[in-house]
A = this chain, B = another copy of it.
């Protein structure tokens, strides 16, 4: 019976997932939720803690139901642009800005060297997209690689200590054939999805991640690697959102989530993409229903295609709406999206924009410390305690810099309203009123 295969909605007790105690405690320390809640979520598949059992890290994190919304930053060299030091600086900028996880999307000759460095230095969970390395072969050679080659790369990256893998197992040969009918405005915009489609369509053969899914899961289980089921068919234009291809893949991802869960492999589901803002909530609800409450990891969503150069803002809008509807994990989008590889400043801007979206959502998700932060910062603002206000801010450095760039005459106001500061005016009114009341009651 299919229903017996569904994960339990909630089962208190030790998780089936074998997250080690140290990692669990460190991850739990960041949350308002209890250790018991997190264990129950791990057991139910509604929470994951991506952590390869071959490596230790300072700042693991839990992702899922009842927890703070998490943010991922992507970095990585490519064939044209390969500067390992620059990527390490981007990694540091991402961590400094508050990213909870990092994905290394590298291609090119320096992939292994950079990965080694990242794995040794990065304090937060690291993810990769193994199909990039599988496909990164001299011209044409990728298409002659066999299923075993796919698994070999997974084993190598697992041994290197990667904490979570994006595996595009949901694009079946059938779905790839339908994509090849080319009915969308933007066809497949997922790099991994397009590579797999080309492999499948060139030889009319099934996706190895799907045909060998049990073998994939065995590798992941051995290292306690979390599988992040990629969405090859995510829409790349709002015109393509929530279409038959996207939803067909999501239905398959639900089945693959169940199979991974049954093998005690932790699962995240990846989601769109470019989505008109009134379709975002439905996308989240669909994922939660079809994928049995598994954590949902969205890219953006981008609520318009029309603002290249500002896609961090476009994505902050979509991310806030998605997270408030139940998405658990936001993949950042930088101002460089659709234009070029992001630089260090882009990485910082992308992380901050996603953190804003995550925090705005956490306020309405009922995460107690989220609304408490807003209360504290507003109290500091009401007291014109600039130092405390800035120390509490999501970016504690920029506001001070902006304020200093145009210093007011008096320390307790800003140049926006100067002596017409509404807060000061009302403070005087309240004081005068209180004095009047006190003298009246004497």
Contact = CB atoms under 8 A, between A and B. Distances in A.
Interface in A353-367: 353, 356-357, 359-361, 363-364
A339 interface: yes
A378 B308 CA distance: 11
Interface in A404-422: 405-406, 408-409, 414-422
A375 B308 CA distance: 14
A385 interface: no
B237 A378 contact: yes
Interface residues of A, number: 107
Interface stretch (A22-30, A75-83, A116-124, A290-298): A75-83
A191 B304 contact: no
B321 A277 contact: yes
A387 interface: no
A80 B418 contact: yes
B403 A201 contact: no
A277, A278, A309, A423: which has the most chain B beta carbons within 10 Å?
A: A309
Nearest to A386: B339
Interface in A383-433: 389-390, 392-395, 398-399, 401-403, 405-406, 408-409, 414-423, 425-430, 432-433
B353 A310 contact: yes
A107 B420 contact: yes
A360, A374, A393: which has the most chain B beta carbons within 10 Å?
A: A360
A379 B239 CA distance: 10
Contact of A389 (B78, B304, B308): B308
A48 interface: no
Enumerate the 10 nearest inter-chain pairs by beta-carbon distance, A residue then B residue, closest first: A237-B378, A194-B422, A309-B398, A303-B360, A308-B399, A194-B425, A278-B364, A340-B406, A187-B426, A309-B399
18 contacts: A107-B420, A179-B426, A185-B379, A186-B423, A195-B420, A236-B378, A238-B378, A276-B364, A304-B363, A309-B399, A309-B402, A310-B356, A310-B395, A313-B353, A338-B399, A338-B416, A339-B399, A343-B406
